[in-house]
Amino acid sequence: MAVKPPLVPNAKPLIGHALDIWQDPLKFFSAAARTAPLSRIKIGWKDACLISNHELLYQILVTDAKKYDKGIQYERARAMLGDGVLLAEGDLHFRQRRLMQPMFNKPSVNDYIDAMHTYSTAMVESWRDKEVVELYPEFYRLATRVVIDTLFSTIMSDADVELVRAKMPVVIAGIEKRGALPPRLFDTIPTPENRAFYSAIADLRGLGDRLVDDRLSMNRDGDARTDLMDVLTDTEDEITRRDNDRAQILNEFLTFLTAGSETTPSAIAWSCYLLAKHPEIQEQVRAEVGEFDLNADNTVQAIQQLSLLHAVVKEALRLYPPVWALGRRSLEEISLGGYDLPSGTQVFYSVYAIQRDSTVYEDPDEFKPRRWIDTPKKYPRSAFLPFGAGVRNCIGEHFAWIEISIAIVNILQRYELSLQPGQQVPPAAMGALVPGALPVRLRSVVPR
Ligand code: HEM
């Protein structure tokens, strides 16, 4: 019989580790990562593997990517996203990704800078000197408006933004939790949690349907800019036209609504939290961005020159990766970390745990942005994976970097951010890794 990877301690009969994962996933995966580079966990009575070593993870995501599909967590997301590009597999994924990629390359992202700047300026201008602002909801609204305006030329109403803010976290947390449950065990029982999950999906799909209809019937004669909706619908290519029927267009709309609204706010919020907690670094970043003119220097290249800001965001993404745990499933027998694993093996990995590996990062739990300026070569590519890697990496990576940077430049040019003495902000793994309550006090740094 093939040797199995070591089992993470404390598996319970029938449910395995499911309850521990359900109750505190971050704690479970971080503790379990210490068992072995490749260990075994039990999802109910089924075995799954846990990858806690960055090189093994890179093998899965990049070197052997063809041997895996996305697996159980993603199957649970299908009720929300259908076959949008995040979940599509094989040829459909290849075609959709190739079709959309140009909209996320640097020249296209340059076109989004004005909208990103306009929305984040409106956000900071609604704040007041000495006010205490709960930051995460502010950034959630910002990111939701930005992604839908830039990619679908649609200005969302306040009510629609609030609907997304209320319902999307219910869906995302529900998907995450269902990924750690034995298949279909609890899905069909009409518990309050199940009802809330399916009704939030229905509300968001209903909203998406309405916004897609509105966008498709929009008269855009005067609008020269090609958006993602044009790319999905205006194609000369017959296969692409067949791929993108009305149902698939809705799936793609919801995919970008989800991917754009659930991740970037977390990255901006954690960056601001760390800056508020480290006032001396905040001052240094403010000195760097103080003179930066977002109206004039509005290119991806110019924004990327802000090296300390870049290092701060990178360190925030290392300590608090918004997409903190994911999985894959093998499509054939695989050899991994010295084990022969059968086809259909579900593997999970926690980017949160991997990016705090003390064998890679000295002082792994500390915020040290200068590590990315002083010794960047010390850290292997495989040990920094907030945007994933390989063919399924994040298509929105440049988009996100620029959106995050613009928001922080706007904030620091106007306000000093501070926390209450001793204020703790524990991370909550609500699907995305988000800050719990994050009230931050603002003090104007320029006369207003
Ligand atoms: C800080 C912000 C973001 C983070 C940390 C992030 C993270 C990720 C990660 C880890 C993946 C890979 C998932 C996997 O390997 O299974 C991914 C995929 C994806 N992301 Fe992002 N993302 C961010 C922002 C965005 C934005 C702003 C957009 C859209 C505008 C976006 C759109 C997507 C899409 C469509 C995919 C699926 C790509 C594919 O499978 O081909 N993301 N993202």
Which residues of 79-176 form beta strands (DSSP E)? 132-134
Residue 252 CA to ligand 1 centre (angstroms): 13
Residue 40 CA to ligand 1 centre (angstroms): 27
- Residue 156's CB: how many other CB atoms inside 10 A? 21
The span from the CA of 293 to the CA of 90, in Å, is 44
| Span 144-165, pLDDT tens digits | 999 999 999 999 999 999 999 9
The span from the CA of 170 to the CA of 172, in Å, is 6
Strands 339-341 and 38-43: unpaired
Residue 390 CA to ligand 1 centre (angstroms): 12
The span from the CA of 406 to the CA of 113, in Å, is 8
Give the pLDDT confidence score for residue 248 in this predicted structure.
Answer: 98
Give the pLDDT confidence score for residue 236 in this predicted structure.
Answer: 81
Q: What SS3 state is found at 12?
A: strand
Q: What is the DSSP secondary structure assignment for residue 323, as one 8-state letter?
A: S
What values do phi and psi take at 43, rounded to 5? -100, 100
| Span 334-352, pLDDT tens digits | 999 999 999 999 999 999 9
**Which of the residues in the chain have pLDDT under 50?**
448
Which residue has a Cα nearest atom 41 of ligand 1? 392
Helices (H) and strands (E) in the chain, counts: 19, 12
Q: Ligand 1: which residues within 6 Å by Cβ? A: 70, 85-86, 97, 147, 255-256, 259-260, 263-264, 267, 322-323, 326, 386-388, 392-396, 399-400
The span from the CA of 31 to the CA of 28, in Å, is 5
Residue 392 CA to ligand 1 centre (angstroms): 9
Q: Tokens in use for 215?
A: 């966008």
The span from the CA of 75 to the CA of 92, in Å, is 16
Mutate to test the pocket of ligand 1, among 394, 395, 402, 406 (most ligand atoms within 8 A of CB): 394
Atom of ligand 1 nearest to the CA of 403: 27
What values do phi and psi take at 17, rounded to 5? -100, 5
CA-based nearest residue to 404, from 297, 306, 319: 306
Strands 415-418 and 439-444: antiparallel
CA-based nearest residue to 379, from 405, 397, 356, 408: 356
CA-based nearest residue to 89, from 71, 101, 63: 71
Residue 411 CA to ligand 1 centre (angstroms): 24
CA-based nearest residue to 440, from 403, 400, 411, 413: 411
One-letter amino acid of 168: M
Mutate to test the pocket of ligand 1, among 263, 351, 401 (most ligand atoms within 8 A of CB): 263
The span from the CA of 48 to the CA of 62, in Å, is 20
- Asked if residues 232 and 252 have their Cβ atoms less than 8 Å apart, the reply is yes
Q: What is the CA radius of gyration of the chain?
A: 22
Q: Tokens in use for 132?
A: 């205490």
Give the pLDDT confidence score for residue 185 in this predicted structure.
Answer: 65
Q: What angle do CA 393, 209, 429 make, to 5 degrees?
A: 45
Sign of the C-alpha dihedral computed for residues 318, 321, 327 and 328 taken in this order: negative
| Residue whose entry in the numeric block shows the structure tokens 């799909």 | 205
Q: What SS3 state is found at 163?
A: helix
Give the pLDDT confidence score for residue 448 in this predicted structure.
Answer: 42
One-letter amino acid of 83: D
Give the pLDDT confidence score for residue 189 in this predicted structure.
Answer: 82
For residue 442, the cross-strand partners are 417
CA-based nearest residue to 123, from 136, 110, 108: 136
CATH of 18-444, one of 1.10.630.10, 3.40.50.720, 1.10.645.10, 1.10.238.10: 1.10.630.10
Domain definitions of the chain by residue range: 18-444
The span from the CA of 8 to the CA of 15, in Å, is 14
Atom of ligand 1 nearest to the CA of 399: 27
Q: Tokens in use for 341?
A: 């694993």
Q: Dihedral (C-alpha) 205, 162, 213, 84: value to the nearest 10 degrees?
A: -40
